[in-house]
Chains A and B, each alone.
Chain A
């Protein structure tokens, strides 16, 4: 099951998806408003935005599930519309919240989806695919016996059953606990490393930052920005917040004179926050001052700018404030997202 794909990281002209002027209206609502973007062969491309931003609608048009009102989409050299069938054969799709057939074993479901593409998978191929998503030991289980994370992995396996050129993952980790989410990230990375271009939507900052080579930030049907996560963050020129406590209080003025610090404040109790463009310089300076005064620096925390700040900067809102309905009005059971701390934090 080696994906039939050119070498990953093909040149700038190696766009596997080209979207231009793509528009979708539902009555008066413009769900997607004339967006254009290219996805390069071999990359992990993220579409980041809150619920209702138009991420899923965009994906559905590219996948051939929903007909655009205007614009063109070319996938792997083929126009998706008006007849999306040929493109459907070359892509893999994982939809939000797809429950699958009850009473069928995983191996049977994969076999069945293979035949949707006119492919007959051998038992060995089915096992290999299940192994890729870490579900080999579940091959005899029924789909309704899987946990949330396992069901998502099955769903991703089905998005690979036809060795697609591009695979689309629509909010693959929504509703999963952090451990299951991390496990899924590894699966997605492995898929990409084997040569498949991955396009995913997410409203998790961390996911976009850790997985995606490039990210399109969407809101209200527009692409607000499109670049690598690092470039997006750098473009803000945002400053880092350094918070800490000291074993004995010092006058605030001392902290304001630390190198590179633009503002400084004392919090209730004994905590302090300084804001600096260069967090490293500010921290080194802080440690020097503390040492010279015989103080201990405790609870040191550096919070860098992240995509959350990018989103806030561009829309005036934070992603995590968004609790509006999903764009298709459906699922309400999504767990509340916690605000994201510390760019790239955790292990």
Chain B
């Protein structure tokens, strides 16, 4: 136990004194999140153009147009031709078309449920789409509330993408956390083990009575701890700087993160087991990490990806970690809701451990 703690401390010291490792571990995920957030995220995209097709001249329609004209971040053009507006949408001149139908006033006066206004938007760029839908929804709802003084009697009926709540950073942050967990585990365990094997450090340690589980265990524990710190940093920056909404409990999120970390730590062991030297290990890490980075729904959802790619998406363990983290972090789901993701991650961990066990050589 003493040796375990001494090695944990030594590994931590080595990590903290390695500026490069610190940069990639703590600064890079935040940088990546910031850059993607600035390029695609809410509040950074500038104004968008909205065409309002005004087919009704009642009070509601007029108030609505005025509200849009007063709103920040929206340039409104009013027309009475839906065709013309849709053409502008196709041409990219506007990013959304909101229709105020001829029966708007009547429908609103009636005591029915919420009136849904047809809304079409450009979904070629998901981030912008999220912004367009979000702001339009907000304005329409507030006008509805204003007029009815009751809970929303007006809403929009979005057609385009599945998800109604589309904030890119909300989507991105769990992905960045998942990606960081993967990289910390694979580099931290696979990379260091291969280096130590290559340099003869493992041989030297085996010449002492130290049980190797103390050495391995302390390294694994450190990587898991680093992953948790990474996650807290990414979430903190996301919440404070980018206004990301986190609904999940920190405990549940941590459990998911630890399971994910264990999975990729075991993958790191597999890499260390089958790599003769650092060049091989490096190549293997790239081959393994690159597809996961882009096909596991880290930066963009894979729902809309071509069907032939779906089987690949489904066999990548990072897909399940990203899914689980997204559900837990953003939707506030509990462990039971993500049980299948976790079960798959644990099963994959088991397989990796067996492979590493079978092939690992000390030198």
Contact = CB atoms under 8 A, between A and B. Distances in A.
Interface stretch (A5-13, A87-95, A214-222, A277-285): A87-95
B207 A118 contact: no
A228 to B, nearest CB: 29
A158 B14 CA distance: 19
Given A88-B209, A101-B14, A115 B3 contact: yes
Contacts of A113: 208
B6 interface: yes
Given A88-B209, A99-B200, A104 B2 contact: no
Interface in B13-65: 13-14, 17-18
Contacts of B205: 116
10 contacts: A89-B209, A97-B200, A99-B199, A99-B200, A101-B201, A102-B18, A103-B17, A103-B18, A117-B208, A117-B209
B276 to A, nearest CB: 11
Contacts of B10: 101, 104, 108, 112
Contact of A104 (B13, B200, B204): B13
B207 A115 contact: no
Interface string B189-204: 0000000000111011
Question: In the complex, which range does the number of interface residues on chain A fall in?
Answer: 20 to 34
B182 to A, nearest CB: 24
A43 interface: no
B87 interface: no
Contacts of B200: 95-99
A65 B206 CA distance: 7
A85 B209 contact: yes
Nearest to A100: B201
A116 B14 contact: no
Given A115-B6, A116-B208, A117-B209, A65 B201 contact: no
A113 B206 CA distance: 11
Contacts of A97: 200
A98 B204 contact: yes
Interface string B1-14: 01100110010011
Interface in A56-99: 63-65, 85-86, 88-89, 93, 95-99
B210 interface: yes
A115 B2 CA distance: 7
Contacts of A162: 208
Nearest to A120: B2
Contacts of B208: 88, 93, 113, 116-117, 162
B198 to A, nearest CB: 9
Given A95-B207, A100-B199, A116-B3, 15 more contacts: A63-B207, A88-B208, A88-B209, A93-B207, A98-B199, A99-B199, A99-B200, A103-B14, A104-B13, A112-B10, A115-B6, A115-B7, A115-B210, A116-B209, A158-B204
Contact of B204 (A64, A95, A108, A115): A95
Contacts of B3: 115-116, 118
The 6 residue pairs across chains A and B that have the minimum distance between CB atoms: A99-B199, A116-B208, A116-B210, A93-B207, A103-B17, A115-B6
Nearest to B19: A103
A115 B6 CA distance: 7
B209 A118 contact: yes
Question: In the complex, which range does the number of interface residues on chain B fall in?
Answer: 20 to 34
B2 A118 contact: yes
A121 to B, nearest CB: 11
Contacts of A98: 199-201, 203-204
A64 B210 CA distance: 13
A66 to B, nearest CB: 9
Contact of A111 (B6, B203, B204, B209): B6
Nearest to B211: A85
A102 B14 contact: yes
Nearest to B215: A116
Nearest to A90: B209
Contact of B207 (A88, A99, A111): A88
Listed residue (A63, A98, A102) with the most chain B CB atoms within 10 angstroms of its CB: A98
A64 B2 contact: no
A114 to B, nearest CB: 9
A89 B209 CA distance: 6
Contact of A112 (B7, B203, B209): B7
A82 to B, nearest CB: 15
A65 B204 CA distance: 9
A101 B18 CA distance: 12
Contacts of A115: 2-3, 6-7, 210
Given A101-B10, A102-B14, A120-B2, A65 B199 contact: no
B201 A99 contact: yes
Nearest to B204: A98
A103 B13 CA distance: 8
A235 to B, nearest CB: 35
Given A65-B207, A85-B209, A112 B6 contact: yes
A96 B7 CA distance: 23
Contacts of A96: 200
A255 B10 CA distance: 70
Interface in B196-235: 199-201, 203-210
Contacts of B204: 93, 95, 98, 100, 158
Contacts of A99: 199-201
A64 B204 CA distance: 11
A88 B210 CA distance: 9
Interface in B105-157: none
Contacts of A102: 14, 18
Contacts of A112: 6-7, 10
A86 B3 CA distance: 17
A93 to B, nearest CB: 4
A120 B6 CA distance: 10
A248 B194 CA distance: 67
A156 to B, nearest CB: 12
Listed residue (A93, A96, A108, A116) with the most chain B CB atoms within 10 angstroms of its CB: A116
Nearest to A96: B200
Given A95-B200, A99-B201, A108 B207 contact: no
A63 B208 CA distance: 9
A284 to B, nearest CB: 53
A103 B195 CA distance: 14
A34 to B, nearest CB: 24
Contacts of A88: 207-209
Nearest to B11: A101
